[in-house]
Amino acid sequence: MKTLFQKNIFSVLLLAVVLMITACGGNESQNQESASNESMEQTTMQADTASAPQSKLNINTAGEEAFRTIPDVGDRMVDEFNEYRPYVSIQQFRQEIGKYVDESQVAAYEQYIYVPIHRNDSDAATLMQIPGLDENEAQELISGRPYETNQAFYDALSSYVSDEQLATAKSYIKAE
């Protein structure tokens, strides 16, 4: 299984090759230029996909090696991530990790991790880890509590997010 880092490196290298080929073949026919542009667009999409992880790491259960796949995470940050477990909200993560890095770096880490969501206990900020969910929608979900089952929560959530976003959300919800 390739790590996120390996995927990022591969995408960057592929993009560099496409750019070099495009630059060297500037006097080629329009068809070749069109093919190069399509290839470059595909490479860019792959690079974008690689920089936005397909699945985030559960901050409460991820191991040391998994944390090391996150850009700019070394021994110190692995220790800090582990020290404050279990995280109960994304706000707690921001507060604790914000002691060691600035706000922009905390936000960068959040692209790779999530704090598990409890359907009846998580605050709005923690619910907003769900792709496509905004603050008003998170507050509406909170107003609908309690949810007897995770399925009841998913049913309510499905009116705010796409099927793909719902599938992602299901991986963030704590099993109960």
User: How does pLDDT run across 36-74, given as a tens digit for each residue?
Assistant: 444 444 443 343 334 445 689 999 999 999 999 999 999
pLDDT of residue 8: 54
> What ranges do the domains of the chain cover?
4-51, 57-114, 124-172
Distance CA 151, CA 169 (A): 12
State the average pLDDT for the chain: 81
Decide if 114 contacts 58 (C-beta within 8 A): yes
Q: Which amino acid is at 134?
A: D
Q: Which of 43-47, 136-140, 148-152 has the lowest mean pLDDT?
A: 43-47
